[in-house]
Amino acid sequence: MRNLILVLGDQLTPTLTSLAAGDPAQDRVLMAELADEAGYVRHHKKKIAFLFSAMRHFAAELRGLGWTVDYVTLDDPDNRGSFTEQLGAAIERLRPERVVVTEAGEWRVRQMQESWAARFSLPVDILPDERFLCSPASFAAWAAGRKQLRMEYFYRDMRRRTGLLMEGDQPAGGRWNFDAENRKPAKADLFMPRPRGVTPDAITREVLALVEARFGDHFGDLEPFRFAVTRSDAEAAFTAFVETGLPKFGDYQDAMLAGEPFLYHAVIAPYLNCGLLDPLQVCRQVEIEWRAGRVPLNAAEGFIRQIIGWREYVRGIYWLKMPGYERSNFLGHTRPLPGFYWTGETEMACVRAAVTQTREQAYAHHIQRLMITGNFALLAGIDPHELHEWYLAVYADAYEWVELPNTVGMSQFADGGLLASKPYAASGAYIDRMSDYCGGCAYEVKQRTGPRACPFNALYWDFISRHREKIGRNPRMAQMVRTYDKFADVEKGRIADSAAAFLGTL
């Protein structure tokens, strides 16, 4: 045998560079479901089931393309539990001339890949992952010499590079960003499309039984399970979103409604991040819909910005700053993660809704993550590394390259402003404006202090007080520091007492 090609669980793309470099007539593919990967954090049961099922279906897809695939299931007697041990067993059995891999998306796995040549005394070709639109080297070149790495300027470069939503050298509509038009609160009487789900087939049902048996004590509900696990079903799910959700996605992308986990969101990040969908292809499809007049520009621009702007940007930050970025803690927060992040058992209706939805769906949209669970952790002084591991565990789309910068940089300001222009801290007023959670809450969102006041209110002003020296010079936070300074001493005392009393209950 010539080459042994190891394909990872988030590399489910037939045009992957390692596969493109191979020859089905001479080479063999290795794929494996590994206990180490399922358990290095306690991943949501739906997340494990989604990836194992998608991997099994991808192995079948490759076989249909003429590849010989050695696929090691979790319960295979020859399963060695880790990438390195499984690869070693395959090398000993198959005696390949070399190993070929596409570079891993996570730092810890990339370190494993770089150790294999010496460990196995065999050439190991680590090829670039060309499914992304900006390589780590290109991002590093863009970042060189910049004091602040703002996504907006990177995004503009990506628009020019791809030509998406461009009219010559100018942005369509005369503006790069229509975010100001994408902040409408939703109302419960809106028609809400549902993401296209898929009834589990025999392969998925077998995986569901395996996950329940092996990971039954992990977080989350395993069923109902409706994720697409094949390329064709993922593409059909995206097409359904384009037809039913995309036209109003822009208007309501920041809105939150009790009992409506999806609103107008695509819920395709799990498919993009494991390789079932191509990011540039989905953006071009959205552009076609705008140019045909079927969706407004604010919807098309908002969607495309999340893909070629934010998604590519956080990956660039990750590879620029690892290792060590995962331990950033600019604000010095050390409070343990509260138990209700796992149980949802809290009187705060917004947090309860976000965690309950996360448990049921392995999904919450970006504002629920940033302005509910993330905002609470920021205000309460939760250890950002504990929060990072929670986000990594509970969402089906979470891989460290995308989740870590979002948590450490955007949500928790733990990198001191490298990524975010300000701490994303907000009181209950923001949540009340963008959701209907507060109407059914045990706390009163209009009250700043006292036993029944919304905890976000006193915690917000307590956060301002605690960190005034670190955030007071931030141009987007200085006004809030000045506002706090104008409070009477007795009011400052009430704020401190209310915040301390609530934090004492965690």
The tens digit of pLDDT for each residue in 326-337 reads 999 999 999 999
Which of these ranges, 59-63, 260-264, 320-324, 370-374, has the smallest mean pLDDT? Answer: 260-264
454 pLDDT above the threshold of 80: yes
- The mean pLDDT value for 221-225 works out to 97
**Domains in the chain with CATH codes:** 3-127 (3.40.50.620), 136-193+245-317 (1.25.40.80), 340-503 (1.10.579.10)
3-class SS of residue 287: helix
Q: Is the peptide bond before 323 cis (omega within 30 degrees of 0)?
A: yes
187 pLDDT above the threshold of 80: no
Distance CA 58, CA 199 (A): 18
Distance CA 190, CA 192 (A): 6
Per the DSSP assignment, residues forming a β-bridge with 100 are: 5, 125
Contact 430, 479 (CB under 8 A): no
How many other C-beta atoms lie within 10 A of the C-beta of residue 98? 14
169 pLDDT above the threshold of 70: yes
At residue 186, the pLDDT reads 72
Distance CA 14, CA 88 (A): 24
Within 8 A by CB and 6+ apart from 461, the residues are: 427, 448, 484, 487, 495, 499
At residue 105, the pLDDT reads 97
442-457: b (≥16 Cβ within 10 Å) or e:
ebebeebbeeebbbbb
251 or 104, which is more confident: 104
Percent share of the chain, pLDDT over 70: 99
- The mean pLDDT value for 186-212 works out to 89
Per the DSSP assignment, residues forming a β-bridge with 70 are: 30
Of 439, 419, 468, the closest CA to residue 188 belongs to 439
3-class SS of residue 3: strand
In this structure, what DSSP letter does residue 485 have?
H
**Is 174 exposed, middle or buried (CB count within 10 Å of its CB: 0-12, 13-18, 19+)?**
exposed
Distance CA 303, CA 306 (A): 5
Residue 190 binned pLDDT confidence (cut-offs 50, 70, 90): low
- The mean pLDDT value for 84-96 works out to 98
Distance CA 228, CA 297 (A): 28
- Kindly give the residue spans of alpha helices, DSSP state H, lying in 344-448: 349-361, 366-368, 375-380, 384-394, 400-404, 428-434
The tens digit of pLDDT for each residue in 296-317 reads 999 999 999 999 999 999 999 9
The tens digit of pLDDT for each residue in 13-62 reads 999 999 999 999 999 999 999 999 999 999 999 999 999 999 999 999 99
Distance CA 393, CA 397 (A): 10
- Kindly give the residue spans of alpha helices, DSSP state H, lying in 95-150: 107-120, 136-143
CA 315 from chain center: how many Å? 11
Of 328, 479, 480, 336, the closest CA to residue 416 belongs to 328
Distance CA 96, CA 116 (A): 14
Lateral strand order in the sheet of 68-72: 68-72, 28-32, 3-6, 98-102, 124-127
At residue 449, the pLDDT reads 96
At residue 191, the pLDDT reads 64
Contact 31, 70 (CB under 8 A): yes
Contact 272, 311 (CB under 8 A): yes
Type of residue numbered 276? L
Per the DSSP assignment, residues forming a β-bridge with 91 are: none
At residue 235, the pLDDT reads 98
Of 277, 236, 232, 268, the closest CA to residue 61 belongs to 232
What are phi and psi for residue 417, nearest 5 degrees?
Answer: 105, 10
Largest CA distance in the chain: 79
Q: Which long-range contacts (CB under 8 A, 24 or more apart) does 290-294 make?
A: 290/165, 290/172, 294/247
- The mean pLDDT value for 439-467 works out to 96
Percent share of the chain, pLDDT over 90: 92
What are phi and psi for residue 29, nearest 5 degrees?
Answer: -100, 140
- Kindly give the residue spans of alpha helices, DSSP state H, lying in 5-44: 17-20, 35-39
What are phi and psi for residue 42, nearest 5 degrees?
Answer: -85, 80
- The mean pLDDT value for 380-409 works out to 98
Distance CA 115, CA 338 (A): 38
Half-sphere exposure of 8 (CA within 13 A, CB side): 26
In degrees, rounded to 5, the angle at the alpha carbon of residue 419 between the alpha carbons of residues 414 and 424 is 65
At residue 188, the pLDDT reads 67
Residue 425 in tokens: 């801290």
- The mean pLDDT value for 389-415 works out to 98
What are phi and psi for residue 256, nearest 5 degrees?
Answer: -135, 135
Average pLDDT, the chain: 96
Contact 462, 499 (CB under 8 A): yes
